[in-house]
């Protein structure tokens, strides 16, 4: 079972995570930002994984630190749970529509975190700039290279389609399909 526990505490936030990539079921999310909880629950549900995530941040300042630090901690937890990545498919793709919106996501669990985001995301339950910052921080800390393209009219739909698209691509990419580390370098 690929799982991890991770706690990250600073003067701005404390984030506690339990993640299991091979068993779906337990999803408990509490970041203090209901919309962000909704996005993270969607991600966990549609990626068939168990995720318990509790974050307590300085929301009296604004949402920035909490959104960023959840992304950092979740990225590190994903990286830890993936381990040496032996046998994984490594690549995953998805196109997820949601009414007026659509998100296209392609990922490579390459060990080199990088986000390539196309599309304009306006504010919804979190700010559009923090949506982008979430995926950027997640990629850097998980070692996932992600292409994410979004468009649509409704910013709630656009963000939700993006979280679901990442979920579906990640479900595919982390599947165990072989025995080797899927790289000609022999290491990811």
Segment lying near Mn ion (by CB under 5 A), choices 70-78, 129-137, 139-147, 153-161: 153-161
Provide, rounded to whole angstroms, the least separation between the CB of residue 72 and Mn ion.
24
By rule CB under 5 A, what count of residues binds Mn ion? 1
Provide, rounded to whole angstroms, the least separation between the CB of residue 128 and Mn ion.
16
Provide, rounded to whole angstroms, the least separation between the CB of residue 42 and Mn ion.
7
Segment lying near Mn ion (by CB under 5 A), choices 100-108, 156-164, 165-173, 177-185: 156-164
Strands 13-20 and 3-9: antiparallel
Residue 140 sits at the vertex; the CA angle it makes with 138 and 143, to the nearest 5 degrees, is 95
List, as one string, the DSSP characters of 109-177.
--S--EEEEES----SSS-HHHHHHHHHHHHHHHT-EEEEEEE-S-HHHHHHHHHHHHHHHHHHHT-B-
Sheet holding 13-20, edge to edge: 3-9, 13-20, 50-57, 27-30
DSSP classification of residue 40: H
121-140: which residues touch Mn ion (CB under 5 A)? none
Nearest to Mn ion of 39, 148 (CB atom): 39
Provide, rounded to whole angstroms, the least separation between the CB of residue 74 and Mn ion.
19
Nearest to Mn ion of 42, 66 (CB atom): 42
Segment lying near Mn ion (by CB under 5 A), choices 54-62, 79-87, 93-101, 160-168: 160-168
160 touching Mn ion, by CB under 5 A: yes
Provide, rounded to whole angstroms, the least separation between the CB of residue 39 and Mn ion.
8
Residue nearest to Mn ion (CB): 160
Q: Footprint of Mn ion on this chain (CB under 5 A)?
A: 160
């Amino acid at each position: 079972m690929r799982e991890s526990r991770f706690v990250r505490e600073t003067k701005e936030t404390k984030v506690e995570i339990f993640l299991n990539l091979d068993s779906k079921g337990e999803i408990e999310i509490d970041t203090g930002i209901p919309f962000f909880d909704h996005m993270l629950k969607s991600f966990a549900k549609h990626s068939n994984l168990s995720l318990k995530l509790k974050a307590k941040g300085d929301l009296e300042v604004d949402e920035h630190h909490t959104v960023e630090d959840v992304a950092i901690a979740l990225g590190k937890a994903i990286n830890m749970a993936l381990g040496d990545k032996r046998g994984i498919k490594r690549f995953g793709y998805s196109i997820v529509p949601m009414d007026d919106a659509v998100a296209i996501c392609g990922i490579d669990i390459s060990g080199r975190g990088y986000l390539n985001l196309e599309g304009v995301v306006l504010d919804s339950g979190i700010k559009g700039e923090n949506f982008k910052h979430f995926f950027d921080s997640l990629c850097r800390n998980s070692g996932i290279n992600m292409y994410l393209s979004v468009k649509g009219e409704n910013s709630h739909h656009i963000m939700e389609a993006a979280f679901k698209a990442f979920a579906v691509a990640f479900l595919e990419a982390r599947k165990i399909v072989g025995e080797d580390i899927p790289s000609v370098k022999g290491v990811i």
